[in-house]
Amino acid sequence: MKESTPANSRTTEKAMTGDTPAPIDLDSSEFYLNRELTWLAFNRRVLHEAKDDRVPLLERVFFVAVVGSNLDEFFMKRIGGLKQQVGAGLKKPSIDGMLPAEQIDACYQTVNELFTEQRQIERELRARLAEEGIRFTGYDQLSQKQKKKLDEYFKYEIFPLLTPQGIDPAHPFPFISNLSLNLLVSSSEIDSDQLHLNRIKVPLGVGIPRFIQIGDDHLYITFEELMANNLDDLFPGMTIHSCEFFRVTRNAITEHRDGANDLLAMIESALRERKFADIIRLQVDADMIPLHRGRLAAELDIDEHKDVFDEPGIMAKRDLMEICKIDRADLHYPIHHPCDHPQLVSEEPNIFHILRNQKSILLQHPYESFETTVERFLKEASIDPKVLVIKMTLYRTSSDSRIIQYLIDAAQNGKQVAVVVELMARFDESANIKWAETLEQAGIHVTYGVVGLKTHSKVIFVVRRDYYGLQRYAHIGTGNYHSGTARQYSDLGLLTCDPQICEDLTELFNYLTTGYAPARNYQKILPSPHILKKSLLIKIKREMELHSPNSPGLIQFKSNALEDKDITKALYAASEAGVKVNLIIRDSCRLRPGVEGVSDNITVISIVGRFLEHARIYYFRNGGDEEYFIGSADLMKRNLESRVEVVTPVENKMLQAKLREVFDVQLGNQRSVWDMQPNGTYVKRTPAPGDDDRTVQEILIERAEKRLAKSQADRKKLKKQGKSASRKRN
């Protein structure tokens, strides 16, 4: 399958002067794709999973819901930011040569294509669900008995929650909250031509599902459909002329006061401002009365022709997540149970003793259990009497987090606990404020990192008094300390007691808790904002210098995004020098592979599947002395220059082999992979006859299970040999 061409792609030709090629200007905008359009292209690849018959039916519904959620966030963050730039009169083009207004227009064209495709898939999936006995119904299609039961449910469970708000000269247009679903009701008194407009908010999130089940069968009616057919209770004695649905999206970009004295107060203020931020999108019924459509656009102060989107089918498709949870095992992926890590399945009960013997252990989630690795590490640290200090960075965590409880347990057990909480983790600000308050109430030292920088690193640091003195242990990861996403995201982590890495982390936490960085010397880790980008550029240049026919250069990166111009330009230069570059980039990618004379030696692939690819790996052949790094940083300007990130080397040859396996499986797969073309489009690979037709993630699940099984078999064999030797001695 091939994608349509992004709006800002151009065909590159070598400029010729006679027979001599003109120098290639790697700063030219033609070599850089637009960030927003390439991110939307990623969502097209996600939506393709919803069309794939090989994907279980309810999982296909899940992908439709994911794209709905992603596009909501895209409007809030990316379109919201571009509209702010337009409002500020910004005339500077982005590195791909597009002005903010041009980017919005191009994005809207692509978004409308995505919406059309999403609606078509929704219709197809609803038909397929009906064949499986999962049906959506309108109120009019119900029997009298079903209607009566639902009407009673409405009267006692929903009606008291509703607040009709008049829209007339005596009642100013009501405030419409972000992503809320609303009814616009037109009514009149009997024998009167005077029409009245009222807005009613659908009170989602109050314990009533968006899709209300009727009886014991899988028959569902939407919350708003039930409301729309019980309006007589809300407007007694009135004639209802129309009932239409609408939904608004507000700008989420409100961080603009980095100089505030109190960071906590600043974030709380920003959250209040976000609640009342400008509206950037209005979604309406496709058959909404034109007068009502225009009235809403005018009241909400948006462009009726550009910012109003017709929404046939189910509005707010992110709520289809509820349908994905229907308990039908035959319509889901086979249940995946993460394995225990082979190196941590030991008769030795103390994880610190295991780590001291193993030195470093590489974790691969969700293939290996987050609970029996990372959570175990923190749990044992919280109760081990020899552990004196625990330090940690916290960007996101789950609402039922055991991580928080273990930190509180540690403080109550007399340990010194310090947590760097990132208050500006987008859309998790309120949760993180609450976590910070909870931790402080438990006596934990809470700081908010360095002013002006987000703390995006994933680090747990433990100091323990071992037999030979103080010993430091650490976990450095690519994903958040969130048990939910640890089951859904593909991530990596390193448990280590490497002395130099741990000394580096001592420096890092001193920086995070003081905010000062005078001459901090790091021996192994590559933190941003001051070291990581510079180090990557140096290593790319070194690869060019070491490249030769007898020792060819090779760079392989796996990242969520490649947006930074300097890194992109350096990779182009490496390709021109003959270095092979393999990039596994999940979503946004500014680089154009396969451009003659510029990126002939570069390949870019994207992998979409059951789990969200979230790990970051950086590999350099380095003349045969190979280097592998993992960490929290993507190849984006914000990550490299405006965030505190940690990337760590993985030096053990056995652990490097595990990372090599990830690269080889992903680069060679024929089922999950999309190949990026020079013009920025993507083509999905199709397994040929005889090819392994499993997804990347199916293969890695099997590999993890085999590693554990082999480890268990080896232990049994050693135990049996030990017993046999003991009998011979006796």
Cβ atoms of 687 and 693 closer than 8 Å: yes
- Of 472, 503, 521, which residue sits at a domain end? 521
- Number of Cβ atoms within 10 Å of the Cβ of 133: 10
pLDDT value for 171: 79
Residue from 605, 595, 616, 620 nearest 544 by CA: 620
- Cα 188 from chain centroid? 47
- Residue of 341, 365, 456, 547 marked active site: 456
394 occurs within a structural domain: yes
Residue from 31, 66, 30, 26 nearest 47 by CA: 66
**Mean pLDDT calculated for residue range 100-113:** 96
pLDDT value for 170: 75
pLDDT value for 263: 54
456 is catalytic: yes
Does 436 lie in the same domain as 311?
Answer: no
215 occurs within a structural domain: yes
Phi then psi dihedrals of residue 724, to 5 deg: -65, -45
Residue 598 has pLDDT above 90, yes or no: yes
> Residue 62 belongs to what H/E stretch?
helix 57-74
> Residue 115 belongs to what H/E stretch?
helix 100-131
Does 186 lie in the same domain as 307?
Answer: yes
What is the domain count for the chain? 4
* DSSP 8-state code for residue 491: E
Does 368 lie in the same domain as 228?
Answer: no
- pLDDT band of 477, cuts 50, 70, 90: very high
Residue 253 has pLDDT above 90, yes or no: no
Residues in a beta bridge with 463: 389, 472
Residue from 550, 405, 383, 524 nearest 464 by CA: 383
Residue with tokens 């360095």: 450
pLDDT in tens, 665-719: 999 999 999 999 999 999 999 999 999 999 999 999 999 999 999 988 888 887 7
9 occurs within a structural domain: no
705 occurs within a structural domain: no
**Mean pLDDT calculated for residue range 393-403:** 86
Residues in a beta bridge with 617: 558, 630
- pLDDT band of 257, cuts 50, 70, 90: very low
Two tokens at 496? Answer: 């280590």
pLDDT value for 17: 42
Does 650 lie in the same domain as 601?
Answer: yes
Kindly report the CATH number assigned to the domain that includes residue 115.
1.20.58.310
- Of 481, 497, 521, which residue sits at a domain end? 521
3 state SS of 320: helix
Residue from 308, 511, 282 nearest 391 by CA: 511
121 occurs within a structural domain: yes
Phi then psi dihedrals of residue 89, to 5 deg: 75, 25
554 occurs within a structural domain: yes
pLDDT value for 270: 59
266 occurs within a structural domain: yes
Kindly report the CATH number assigned to the domain that includes residue 597.
3.30.870.10
Does 254 lie in the same domain as 213?
Answer: yes
Residue from 119, 136, 138 nearest 51 by CA: 119
Torsion of CA 390, 504, 616, 678, to 10 degrees: 150
Kindly report the CA angle at 464 between 461 and 465, in degrees rounded to 5? 160
**Mean pLDDT calculated for residue range 486-496:** 96
Cα distances from 90 to residues 116, 474, 512, 590, in angstroms, run: 31, 45, 34, 21
pLDDT value for 213: 96
Does 503 lie in the same domain as 640?
Answer: no
**Sheet strands (E) in 520-642:** 526-528, 554-559, 580-585, 602-607, 612-613, 617-620, 627-631
11 occurs within a structural domain: no
Which residue segment(s) compose the domain that 115 sits in? Answer: 28-127
Kindly report the CATH number assigned to the domain that includes residue 243.
3.30.1840.10
pLDDT in tens, 311-365: 988 999 999 999 999 999 999 999 999 999 999 988 788 999 999 999 999 999 9
pLDDT value for 728: 60
- pLDDT band of 513, cuts 50, 70, 90: confident
> Residue 571 belongs to what H/E stretch?
helix 565-576
The dihedral sign for the CA sequence 3, 316, 253, 93: positive
pLDDT in tens, 616-671: 999 999 999 999 999 999 999 999 999 999 999 999 999 999 999 999 999 999 99
Residue 730 has pLDDT above 80, yes or no: no
**What proportions of the chain, in percent to the nearest 5, are helix, strand and coil?**
40, 20, 35
Write the CB contacts of 120 (distance below 8 Å, at least 6 apart in sequence).
none
Residue 518 has pLDDT above 80, yes or no: no
- pLDDT band of 46, cuts 50, 70, 90: very high
Does 450 lie in the same domain as 576?
Answer: no
- pLDDT band of 425, cuts 50, 70, 90: low
- Of 521, 547, 581, which residue sits at a domain end? 521
pLDDT in tens, 157-201: 999 999 999 988 777 889 999 999 999 999 998 888 889 999 999
Q: Looking at the whole model, is its pTM more than 0.95?
A: no
Does 295 lie in the same domain as 147?
Answer: yes
Does 535 lie in the same domain as 666?
Answer: yes
Does 676 lie in the same domain as 621?
Answer: yes
pLDDT in tens, 555-595: 999 999 999 999 999 999 999 999 999 999 999 999 999 99
- pLDDT band of 4, cuts 50, 70, 90: low
| Comparison of pLDDT for 276 and 281, the residue scoring more | 281
Residue from 341, 370, 346 nearest 708 by CA: 341
Alpha-carbon span 376 to 263, nearest angstrom:
32
pLDDT value for 259: 40
pLDDT in tens, 298-309: 999 999 999 999
Cβ atoms of 469 and 658 closer than 8 Å: no
Instruction: Report the amino acid identity of residue 228.
Output: A
Cβ atoms of 604 and 583 closer than 8 Å: yes
pLDDT in tens, 133-164: 999 999 999 999 999 999 999 999 999 999 99
Does 372 lie in the same domain as 280?
Answer: no
- Average pLDDT over the chain reads 91
DSSP secondary structure letters along 324-339: HT---GGGSPPP--PB
Q: To 10 degrees, what angle do helices 429-441 and 402-412 make?
A: 20
3 state SS of 719: helix
Two tokens at 276? Answer: 């009342």
Instruction: Report the amino acid identity of residue 246.
Output: F
pLDDT value for 168: 82
Does 618 lie in the same domain as 471?
Answer: no
